[in-house]
Amino acid sequence: MTEIFDTHAHYDDEAFDEDRDELLAGLPAQGIARVVNVGATLSSCESTIALMEKYNYIYGAIGVHPSEVAELDEDHFAWLKEQCLREKCVAVGEIGLDYHWPDPEPALQREWFVRQLNLAREIGKPVVIHSRDAAKDTIDIMQAEKADETGGVIHCYAYSVESAKIFLNMGYYFGIGGVLTFKNARKLKEAVEYIPLDRMVLETDCPYLAPEPNRGKRNSSLNLPYVVSAMAQIKGISEEEVRKAMWENAHALYRMK
């Protein structure tokens, strides 16, 4: 059975404080062979670096989430760039736009989204894009900044098939996680039906968004077989075919051997 690559996790989150090392040490034996831990704040980027130094199968994405960009200034941005150059840092992220919450103001989010997109192009790494209630502005900025040259993944994809067509044309991958198993996830299921198998990757966004039957509980990479099963059902193929494709796609996304 092909192993699983969790392309987006937050194991630095306090939800894992009590059993982090035990859980992470046990992942390979459970078929989870690679994980990318994703930064969201400056301090979580530091924690991500510590995790990728400690575990040979954990890699990192370094960046500042749109809801946290108020903490950025030129000095911090210079530090961020330095960390992104680390060999085990496979992407810049998660970056993007989140208009679900009023703060920080959209103009500031857009400014740092552009800066981090350009950083990724400068250092030749893909981006992990967070976009919530901001489809139009996300697309407009990506097109204006030639984000197709950078490549990357639309994390926790939640938009329509129409938006998916635009991201596909830019050569992006789509992060698919536990939401796919929710009964009310009609829009996502339609998108997964439409998106080619070779443009999707598995992700947890753990500790958030645990799939059925563990919805509402703390999520971890161990729940990804439920997502594999849901995807296989929608695509009308075997779970092993999904696993194989997702493994290959994750390595292609992050340009890993």
Cα separation values, 184 from 181, 203, 212, Å: 9, 19, 12
Residue carrying the six token digits 């290959």: 248
Is residue 257 scored above 90 in pLDDT? no
- Rounded Cα–Cα distance for residues 226 and 232 (Å): 10
Q: Mention every residue, 6+ apart, whose C-beta is less than 8 A from residue 184.
A: none
- Long-range pairs, 25-28, Cβ under 8 A, ≥24: 25/55, 27/57, 27/221, 27/222, 28/57
Q: Mention every residue, 6+ apart, whose C-beta is less than 8 A from residue 124.
A: none
pLDDT per position as a tens digit, 194-224: 999 999 999 999 999 999 999 999 999 999 9
pLDDT per position as a tens digit, 228-246: 999 999 999 999 999 999 9
pLDDT given for residue 102 in this prediction: 82
Q: What CATH number should be reported for the domain holding residue 14?
A: 3.20.20.140
* 146-161 mean pLDDT: 96
pLDDT per position as a tens digit, 160-198: 999 999 999 999 999 999 999 999 999 999 999 999 999
Handedness of CA 47, 53, 59, 60 (dihedral sign): positive
Q: Which helix (H) or strand (E) holds 14?
A: none
Greater model confidence, 223 or 257:
223
On whether the CB atoms of residues 243 and 5 are closer than 8 A, the answer is no
Is residue 14 scored above 90 in pLDDT? yes
pLDDT given for residue 230 in this prediction: 98
Determine if the pTM surpasses 0.95. yes
- The domain of 41 spans 4-253
**Domain count of the chain?**
1
Torsion of CA 187, 163, 134, 250, to 10 degrees: 80
Looking at every residue in the chain, the average pLDDT score rounds to 97
Query: Token pair for residue 159?
Result: 């938009």
Q: Given phi > 0 = left and psi -120 to 50 = alpha, else beta, which region is 171?
A: left
